[in-house]
Structure 1
Amino acid sequence: MPRTPSLTPTPQSSQLGKASPAILAAVVLALAASGGGYWWYKQKQGAGQDASAQTAPKSGPGGRGGRMGPGGPGGAGQSQPVSVGVVERRDMRVLISAIGTMNARATAVVRAKVSGELLKLHFKEGDEVKAGQLLAEIDPRSFTAALAQVQGSLARDQAQLMNAQLDLKRYKELLAQDSIARQQVDTQEALVRQLQGTVAADQGQVDAAKLQLSYTKITAPISGRLGLRQADLGNVVNPSDTNGLVTISQVRPIDAVFSIPEAHVSTLAQQLSAGQPMPVELWDREQKQILAKGLLNALDNTIDTTTGTVKAKAAFDNAERRLFANQFVNVKLQVRQLDQVLAVPANAVQNNYVYLVKPDNTVTQRKITVGVADGDFVSVRGELEPGDKVVTDGIDRLREGAQVTVVDSEKVKKVDQAVQDAAGQPRGMRNLTPEQREKLSKMTPDERKAFFQKLRTERGASGANSGPGAAPAGEGRSGDQPRKSEAQDKTGAAEPARAQQAQTESAAPAAQRAEGRGERGGEGRGEGRGEGRGDRPQLTPEQREKLDAMSPEERKAFFQKMRAEREAHGGASANANGGANSAGR
């Protein structure tokens, strides 16, 4: 009877126990494979990096292939040229900068006080005049006639008064003798007093006429500088003329009016009340040149609420007459002074740092606190000592620890100034010697023209032997140079630089260039382009010496003669060679 299979399931524990070794082995193999692959990949990558490092060009920290090193764009190995300044202790002024306008101390418009024709002018525009100085005269004839009329009336009334006084004296004597009545004496006294009043009125009219006559001579009311004339001779002037005759401005001394912030008002007011002088400097528009020095005079009594400033006035003697009324100026008012503080050149400071130059010619950054500025220096606080050197020019090329080379800034300025001066001079003046320039500055235009013509003539005589244009005009490439010089002569544009260069060249190099270049310009470019370099005539020392002394026309004939002789000699040689060849054949 067959066995019935058991329906009881097999326990899972027994199945799992049988599968565990296979699974573990697969896991171990996978881990080993991944570890080996990772090792192989790292080894390959490291070998590739070593090969790249061996084949790559070596570049320093500042080279093209690497990052910028301490030395900046040029690398740590390159030294950067810089200019330096010295840290020092000095007195520093605390300044207030402002914009101001020059005001005349006093201004007067000179007008005629009486009407009349302007006869004479006794001044020139722009002159300095004194108070009471005669400036102009008006026709005085009508005023002289009026004066004579009132003087006549005065003389008549004076005579009447004198007669009345004599009668009064007689009447009093008769009254004393009781010969006349008292009433007659009183009447005579009244007549005398009446005539005295008439004489006094006449005297007043005489004085008025004299005053009107004096007004025909116009004088300066104040001292100062005259402006432009507003009336000409022959004009009828009147007291009501708006412009008058001329304006006088008192500019010695002269005042500057400027505005300062209200934060400084109390300090300035205290110093003014204490009588402490506060210096003021005036600078030009570009703040490159100082114009004058003076003292603060006064402060305005009110503060402008719109701007928060108060107006101040400073006085200047203006002895050199460099200041004019209504002139724009930059004002620097000194409030106080800091004694012996640490200061560095202003252009050495960059973002509250300076570059300190160490004894080994490397630089290091030092942080500072900037104070007040006075001219080209600023006061600072930081790890600096007097005598230290800080970089003033070339800061933008530096990094910490960069190697530097100190360049004298004064020499650089002199070179730059020399280049600017040379560039600013006319082209014909650039290469002249100092003696020639001095002579040229004293010449008249005609003499200067003759001087440049002489230089061009000498250049034509010497330059033909030494330059590429040794060939005569019309044969070589440089044959148009004489025509160019003539055109420049017409326009006044000379080229003495080339002439001077031609004069300084020696005769031997000139002959060599004439042999090597001038003949090629005359024969290779003009007539004999097919001739080779070996066909050129060779010059003897005697021929070279002759060539230097020749004019362009003589030089042209000389080269033509040499070419003719060479062609004749070459033709004879060709015939001889042809006959020999025929005989051989």
Structure 2
Amino acid sequence: MNKRYIFLIGPVAMLMWVSCKQAPKQITALPPTAVTLVSAEKGNAIYYDQYPGVVVPLNSVELRSQVAGYLTGIFFKEGDVVEKGKPLYEIDRRKYQSAYLQAQANLSSAQANLIRSQKDADRYNQLLKQDAVAKQLVDNATATLASSQSQVESAKAGVVSAKTDLDYSLIRAPFTGRIGISQVKLGAQVSPGTTLLNTISSEDPIAVDFVVDEKDIPRFAAMQSKPAIKADSTFMLSSSTGVAYKQPGKILVIDRGVDNQSGTIKVGIQFPNPKKELISGMSVVLKVLNQQSGVQVLIPYKAITEQMGEFFVFVSQNDTIAVQHKVQVGPRVSDKIVIMSGINEGDKVVTEGLNRLRDKGKIQVGPPKQSAQGQQQAPK
């Protein structure tokens, strides 16, 4: 048994000695990653914050009758612009005309009684001076005069009331604006304050309402207090389909208070509307010039990589190593992006080859070099 073990140990020892004599294999280094570099440069970056908005008229009124009756006249074309003071609707005026004439007649009667009472009072006062009449008659004449004066005042108020009702029976445009589709037809009975006849709204200028977070109130308050510039581009507008509106706007009003449920406040921006392109109720996109617009560091957008909500770029060191830098990004401007912090003007950032690159990895500017084996011609 001992001899068998001796014979087995000999070959094993020989194999171990041969393996130790063999030179270790050399590990081949990974080739550098081929990349494209672009220098970060400063440029004029003009960009806007965008808000959804709704076009609203500066003036809008629901037309309702203040007197009852039947509709006897409509004096406009639906959808037209009507001038201030133009008659729009007529409610049967006959009884209001009669009431006005009756009120005028009552005033004339009261004025005649006042004249008679005045003469009686003057006469009795003159007789009293001559001690030719009882004092009671003078007092009665004075009381009758005061009553006649009150009747005149009451009759005057009746005339004003009747004249007001007569005027209300003819409904006029309160301002120049576009009138909508009539909600009533000829012959319809209308009730005071309840029956909606139509709606009229102004068009030029017009406003856009939108809401902002309460933390932005100081920003918009500063814009409101700033003197308006005719060609100011702080507020621009585009339609929901992306068509730009050429007229610039100016801040009109900031609402009186914050909505305590949403934490937002309403802001109104006024725009000229000479061609009537903006229509009440239209959905638009309001663009507000960002406060950080101006000269900023710009790099190609494709140089940005995102990891867990953070943004990074690879910056070249001597064109041989790429170091990963965390950056704070601003808005995208065309094919570039604003860098707020993390790199400086003149830094070379990697724009191609990012998917194979690691932090502090070796890089090669330009296309990858072919290996020596690849450069040899294939045998014929």
Do both share a fold (TM > 0.5)?
A: yes
Alignment deviations for residues 199-234 of structure 1 (CA, whole Å, 9 cap, x no partner): 221222112111111111101234433222111223
Query: Pairwise mapping of residues 80-479 of structure 1 onto structure 2 (< 5 A)?
Result: 89-93=42-46, 95-242=48-195, 244-269=196-221, 271=222, 275=226, 279-290=234-245, 293-296=248-251, 297-298=253-254, 301-302=257-258, 304-305=260-261, 309-320=263-274, 321-343=276-298, 351=305, 369=327, 371-373=329-331, 375-376=333-334, 377-380=336-339, 382=343, 401-402=366-367
Tell me, in whole angstroms, the C-alpha distance in 2 between the residues paired with 1:121 and 1:224.
17
How many residues are treated as equivalent by the alignment?
314
3-state SS of 1:326 partner: coil
Match for 2:337: what amino acid?
V
Quickly say closer, same or farther: Cα 1:253–1:163, change in 2 above 3 A.
same
Displacement after TM superposition at 1:273 (Å): 7.8
Note the residue ranges of structure 1 that are not aligned, 5 or more in a row.
1-14, 16-22, 35-68, 72-84, 355-364, 404-585
Tell me, in whole angstroms, the C-alpha distance in 1 between the residues paired with 2:150 and 2:259.
59
TM-score by length of 2: 0.66
TM-score by length of 1: 0.45
The aligned counterpart of 1:503 is none
Match for 1:379: what amino acid?
V
Query: Pairwise mapping of residues 61-80 of structure 1 onto structure 2 (< 5 A)?
Result: none
Tell me, in whole angstroms, the C-alpha distance in 2 between the residues paired with 1:250 and 1:116.
28
The aligned counterpart of 1:540 is none
Displacement after TM superposition at 1:157 (Å): 2.5
Tell me, in whole angstroms, the C-alpha distance in 2 between the residues paired with 1:299 and 1:206.
43
Tell me, in whole angstroms, the C-alpha distance in 1 between the residues paired with 2:279 and 2:239.
12
The answer to whether the 8 A contact 1:108-1:222 is kept is no
Identity of aligned residues (%): 25
Quickly say closer, same or farther: Cα 1:129–1:89, change in 2 above 3 A.
farther
Displacement after TM superposition at 1:323 (Å): 2.2
Alignment deviations for residues 219-265 of structure 1 (CA, whole Å, 9 cap, x no partner): 123443322211122322222434x1111234444333333345544
Tell me, in whole angstroms, the C-alpha distance in 2 between the residues paired with 1:253 and 1:275.
20
3-state SS of 1:337 partner: coil
Displacement after TM superposition at 1:110 (Å): 0.3
The answer to whether the 8 A contact 1:257-1:312 is kept is yes
Tell me, in whole angstroms, the C-alpha distance in 2 between the residues paired with 1:367 and 1:226.
63
Alignment deviations for residues 6-33 of structure 1 (CA, whole Å, 9 cap, x no partner): xxxxxxxxx9xxxxxxx9xxx9xx99xx
3-state SS of 1:211 partner: helix
Q: Which has the higher helix share?
A: 1
Structure showing greater relative contact order (alpha-carbon pairs closer than 8 Å, 6 or more residues apart): 2
3-state SS of 1:178 partner: coil
Quickly say closer, same or farther: Cα 1:86–1:238, change in 2 above 3 A.
farther
Tell me, in whole angstroms, the C-alpha distance in 2 between the residues paired with 1:214 and 1:258.
39
The answer to whether the 8 A contact 2:212-2:264 is kept is yes
Displacement after TM superposition at 1:131 (Å): 4.2
Alignment deviations for residues 444-497 of structure 1 (CA, whole Å, 9 cap, x no partner): xxxxxxxxxxxxxxxxxxxxxxxxxxxxxxxxxxxxxxxxxxxxxxxxxxxxxx
Displacement after TM superposition at 1:114 (Å): 1.1
Tell me, in whole angstroms, the C-alpha distance in 1 between the residues paired with 2:132 and 2:166.
52
Tell me, in whole angstroms, the C-alpha distance in 1 between the residues paired with 2:213 and 2:107.
67
Tell me, in whole angstroms, the C-alpha distance in 1 between the residues paired with 2:203 and 2:323.
50
Quickly say closer, same or farther: Cα 1:88–1:247, change in 2 above 3 A.
farther
Quickly say closer, same or farther: Cα 1:274–1:335, change in 2 above 3 A.
farther
Tell me, in whole angstroms, the C-alpha distance in 2 between the residues paired with 1:300 and 1:204.
40
Quickly say closer, same or farther: Cα 1:375–1:217, change in 2 above 3 A.
farther
Displacement after TM superposition at 1:178 (Å): 2.9
3-state SS of 1:155 partner: helix
Quickly say closer, same or farther: Cα 1:375–1:339, change in 2 above 3 A.
closer
Quickly say closer, same or farther: Cα 1:312–1:209, change in 2 above 3 A.
closer
Quickly say closer, same or farther: Cα 1:149–1:274, change in 2 above 3 A.
closer
The aligned counterpart of 2:21 is none
Note the residue ranges of structure 2 that are not aligned, 5 or more in a row.
19-32, 306-311, 315-321, 356-363, 369-380
Tell me, in whole angstroms, the C-alpha distance in 1 between the residues paired with 2:215 and 2:117.
80
Runs of 4+ in 1 over 6 A off after TM superposition: 85-88, 365-368
3-state SS of 1:378 partner: strand
The answer to whether the 8 A contact 2:69-2:92 is kept is yes
The aligned counterpart of 1:74 is none
Quickly say closer, same or farther: Cα 1:299–1:108, change in 2 above 3 A.
closer
Alignment deviations for residues 291-331 of structure 1 (CA, whole Å, 9 cap, x no partner): 653234325633545x5x42231322332322233322223
The answer to whether the 8 A contact 1:254-1:316 is kept is yes
Alignment deviations for residues 63-83 of structure 1 (CA, whole Å, 9 cap, x no partner): xxxxxx979xxxxxxxxxxxx
Displacement after TM superposition at 1:86 (Å): 11
Match for 1:254: what amino acid?
I
Alignment deviations for residues 115-165 of structure 1 (CA, whole Å, 9 cap, x no partner): 222222232223334543322222211111111222222222222222222
Tell me, in whole angstroms, the C-alpha distance in 2 between the residues paired with 1:273 and 1:100.
18
3-state SS of 1:245 partner: strand
Match for 1:220: what amino acid?
A
Match for 1:279: what amino acid?
T
Q: Which has the higher strand share?
A: 2
Match for 1:158: what amino acid?
Q
Displacement after TM superposition at 1:111 (Å): 0.8
Quickly say closer, same or farther: Cα 1:213–1:89, change in 2 above 3 A.
same
Match for 1:301: what amino acid?
G
